[in-house]
Amino acid sequence: MRALPRLLGHRAFVTGAALVLVVVLAAISADWLAPYDPLRSAVRMRLRPPEAEHWFGTDHFGRDILSRMLFGARISLAIGLSTAMLTGLFGTMIGAAAGFFPRLDHPLMRLMDALMAFPAILLAIAVAAVLGASVANVIVALSVATTPHTARIVRASVLVVRRMDFIEAARAIGMGEARVLMRHVLPNVAGPLIVRMTYVFATAILAEAALSFIGVGPPPPAPTFGNIIANGRDFISDAPWITLFPGLAVVVSVLGLNLLGDGLRDVLDPRARA
């Protein structure tokens, strides 16, 4: 790949990749790194401040915050990644259909406009309320909320690519519409799409936390960054560590992904800005 050396020379990309790598490695090796069972409650160890035995303190169940964060990273990252994949999949399907088949363009894009006209968080709350709270449903809710914008980006790229000469050439030599789409158009859409998916990954981690805060996030006892924070909010003035550390973990993960996205954008999609 020509892009790889340029990416490796891009400072934001490298910094972001390093941050994300740290979070991913922590999540993968949670089984070895976590000093305690993240689900195990201990009445006597309730609301302990950060100390040698519990670096980030304990919650009101006496559960170790660090261990919960390590395992929480797993689910939060899984939610982010799955949402990014789903929004990529549906965004591409809808955006490509709208961009390539003029008759579908208007109805599909007005539907996307309607979805975008809801504040994304309200849309996610409504979807979560309809489906019930579970990790899978949170992913669905966030995918619904992020797909319209993705579809728009894909459609815009498809429209640009479609007008290019080599597409006309492909058509001229009798290639079918579907094959032109698969063979020539989509690969050219990949750059903006990957950039968008990276940002969606970041957004989904933030949104999971917000949904947990409203009370429609992934259910307990499995930890996510969001529900650890939500759990701690009742004790915010007496045990701020419950809220503080997982909040910082969200910031680090999202910052890493955003840097990664910036790097990818500069290299893969130089037309787009900021």
Partner 1 sequence: MRRRTFGTLAASAALTAAAPRLAASQPRRGGDAVVAIVQPPPSLDAQITTAQAARDITLHIYETLYARDENARPVPELATGVTVSGDGKTYVFPIRDGVKFHNGKPLDSADVVASLERYRKIGGSAALLAAVDTVRASGTHEVTITLKSVQSTFLDNLSSPRAPIAIYPASEAAKPANQIEFIGTGPFRFVEYKPDSHVKIARYDGYSPNPGATGRDGFAGKKEALLDTVTFRFMTEAGPRNAALEAGEVHLVESVDGPVAKRMGANKSYTVYKALPFGFQVIKFNHAFGVTGDVNFRLAVQSALDMEEIMSLSFPDIYQMDGAWVYPGSPFHTSQGTERYNKTDAAAAKALLAKSAYKGEELTFITDPLRSDVDTATMVQEQLKAIGVTVKISVADWPTVSKIGFTPTGWHFWTHGFGIEPYEGPASVMAPWVGGASQQKADAEVDRLYAALNAELDETKRKAIFAQFQARFYEQAIAMKAGNYGNFQVATARLKGFTPYRIPRMWGVWLDQA
Partner 2 sequence: MAFYLAKRLGGMLLVLVLVSLLSFGIIWLVPGDPTSAFLDASATAEQATRLRHELGLDQPLWQQMVAWYGRLLHGDLGRSILLRRSVSVAILERLPVTLSLTALALAFAGLVGVAAGTLAATLQNRWPDQAIMAAALLGLSVPDFWLGLMLILLFAVQLGFVPTGGFVPFGESPSGWFRSIALPAATLALVQVGFIARMTRAAVLDVLHQDFIRTAAAKGLGRARVILCHALPNAAVPILTVVGIVAGAMLGGAVIVEQVFSIPGVGRLIVGAVLSRDYPVIQGGLLFLAAIYLTVNLAVDLLYAVADPRVRLE
Q: Which of 43, 117, 173, 274 binds partner 1 (CB under 8 A)?
A: 43
Please tell me the distance from the alpha carbon of residue 264 to that of residue 8, in angstroms, as a whole number.
10
Partner from partner 2, partner 1, none contacting 117, C-beta within 5 to 8 A by type: partner 2
Please tell me the distance from the alpha carbon of residue 153 to that of residue 162, in angstroms, as a whole number.
14
Nearest approach in angstroms of CB 222 to partner 2 is: 19
Helix axes 241-268, 225-232, angle to 10 degrees: 150
Please tell me the distance from the alpha carbon of residue 27 to that of residue 109, in angstroms, as a whole number.
38
Which residue, 28 or 42, is less far from partner 1 as judged by CB? 42
Cβ neighbors of 229 (< 8 A, separation 6 or more) are 209, 212, 213, 242, 243, 246, 247, 250
| 32 class by beta-carbon count within 10 Å (0-12 exposed, 13-18 middle, 19+ buried) | exposed
Q: Which of 28, 42, 89, 111 binds partner 2 (CB under 8 A)?
A: 111
Nearest approach in angstroms of CB 152 to partner 2 is: 12
The yes or no reply on residue 133 touching partner 1 (CB under 8 A) is yes
Nearest approach in angstroms of CB 13 to partner 1 is: 38
The yes or no reply on residue 216 touching partner 1 (CB under 8 A) is yes
Binding mask 197-236 for partner 2 (x = CB under 8 A): -----x---x--xx--xxx-------------x---x--x
Which residue, 246 or 263, is less far from partner 1 as judged by CB? 246
**What is the enclosing helix (H) or strand (E) of 65?**
helix 65-100
